[in-house]
């Protein structure tokens, strides 16, 4: 099987952390060239640290972690400790990561890696504010030709916003970067709240993960139990939506999802609707179809995949 070369850009965050575990448990399909981190759910110093702790839990010393932008391109940083806790990955014991951060800035890593790659060869998987990706595309637009596709978590249409009435968190934090990404001309697949709100970590699903006897599964359950406290009350459901892992699940098993190619544009001017993803789902404009908007997920199939992949880990001491 040919492995797909990917760069994961994230702001862990419990759901980012679980997505990293899903990706790191799938070495036959995914060649993780690097994990780049950005300010989002918590400040950058925590997101990069959290990514390194997750790498330790996964036993993937081979995956380099880079720190990127500490603030959005134009707006002030907004964080989400009310959802993710003070550390971003509350629910597990925080221990000092075993390996240091790479010295290179994440934006330079993205630019250099894409510059050295073949045409249409690299998949970008952003699951936080799009600052690092927007900065990389701005710094060297020629790298775009080597991007095969972008699979991102962000945006909302039918579900409405989760951080403002009309915006999803990742897009609202850096709408200007999101605008650059949605206009970049490369194939984009969007896993927004319309689909992530179908993938709920119900007590039964958490119990299946709890039954797995390894550190990665224990960390996953710890994080889910914490994260669930806020979201199940907010949405009145039996489990928190597992947003970010939808990206990697789509890469591993696209048949679990259904989507439609349409135009997605980002609001960058109105304070009222800042960060809104205007999805032309019914093709009522002639704007170019720039993104596949995923609207449906097979939630049971998604959790089957997650349980199977988490079961692959052995404890790293
Ligand atoms: C997104 O925002 C963050 O809170 C999560 O990590 C996810 O990427 C959901 O809106
Ligand atoms: Ca995230």
Q: At what angle do helices 14-24 and 299-310 cross, to 10 degrees?
A: 70
Tell which atom from ligand 1 comes closest to the C-alpha of 12.
6
Among 267, 302, 51, smallest CA distance to 191 is for 302
Domain edges within the chain: 4-310
pLDDT tens digits, 203-228: 999 999 999 999 999 999 999 999 98
Q: What sign has the CA pseudo-torsion 278, 284, 288, 290?
A: positive
Residue 1 confidence (pLDDT) above 80: no
| Catalytic annotation present for 243 | yes
Q: What residues flank ligand 1, with Cβ below 6 Å? A: 13, 15-16, 41, 80, 83, 127-128, 153, 162, 168-170, 243-244
Among 90, 126, 127, 157, residue to substitute to test ligand 1 (most atoms within 8 Å of Cβ): 127
Candidates 84, 105, 230, 243; catalytic one: 243
Instruction: Kindly state the DSSP code that residue 293 receives in the 8-state scheme.
Output: E
Do 175 and 274 contact (CB within 8 A), yes or no? yes
- The 3-state DSSP class for residue 35 equals strand
Q: CB-hemisphere CA count at 13 Å for 161?
A: 19
DSSP H or E stretch at residue 259: strand 257-266
Chain centroid, CA 67 distance in Å: 15
Residue 315 confidence (pLDDT) above 80: no
Highest CATH level, class, for 4-310: alpha beta
pLDDT tens digits, 299-313: 999 999 999 999 999
pLDDT of residue 307: 98
Residues 6+ apart with CB under 8 A from 268: 175, 176, 179, 274
289: CA distance to ligand 1 center in Å?
25
């Amino acid at each position: 099987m040919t492995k797909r070369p990917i760069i994961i850009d994230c702001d862990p965050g419990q759901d980012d952390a679980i997505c990293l575990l899903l990706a790191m448990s799938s070495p036959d399909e995914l060649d993780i060239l690097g994990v780049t981190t950005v300010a989002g759910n918590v400040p950058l110093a925590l997101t990069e640290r959290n990514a390194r702790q997750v790498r330790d839990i996964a036993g993937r010393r081979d995956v380099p972690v880079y720190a990127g932008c500490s603030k959005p391109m134009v707006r002030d940083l907004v964080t989400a400790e009310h959802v993710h806790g003070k550390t971003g990955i509350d629910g597990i014991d925080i221990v000092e990561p075993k390996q240091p951060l790479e010295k290179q800035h994440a934006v330079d890593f993205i630019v250099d890696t894409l510059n050295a790659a073949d045409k249409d060869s690299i998949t970008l998987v952003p699951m936080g504010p799009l600052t690092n990706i927007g900065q990389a595309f701005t710094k060297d637009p020629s790298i775009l030709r080597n991007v095969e596709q972008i699979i991102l978590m962000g945006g909302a249409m039918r579900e409405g916003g989760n951080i403002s009435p009309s915006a999803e968190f990742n897009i609202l934090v850096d709408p200007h970067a999101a605008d650059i990404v949605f206009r970049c001309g490369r194939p984009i697949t969007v896993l927004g709240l319309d689909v992530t709100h179908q993938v709920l970590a119900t007590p039964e699903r958490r119990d299946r993960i709890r039954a797995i006897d390894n550190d990665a599964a224990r960390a996953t359950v710890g994080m889910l139990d914490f994260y669930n406290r806020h979201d199940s009350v907010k949405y009145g459901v039996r489990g928190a939506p597992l947003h970010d892992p939808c990206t990697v699940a789509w890469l591993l098993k696209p048949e679990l999802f259904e989507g439609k190619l349409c135009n997605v544009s980002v609001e960058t001017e109105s304070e009222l609707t800042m960060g809104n993803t205007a999805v032309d789902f019914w093709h009522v404009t002639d704007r170019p179809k720039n993104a596949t908007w995923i609207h449906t997920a097979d939630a049971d199939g998604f959790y089957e995949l997650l349980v199977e992949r988490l079961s692959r880990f052995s404890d790293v001491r």
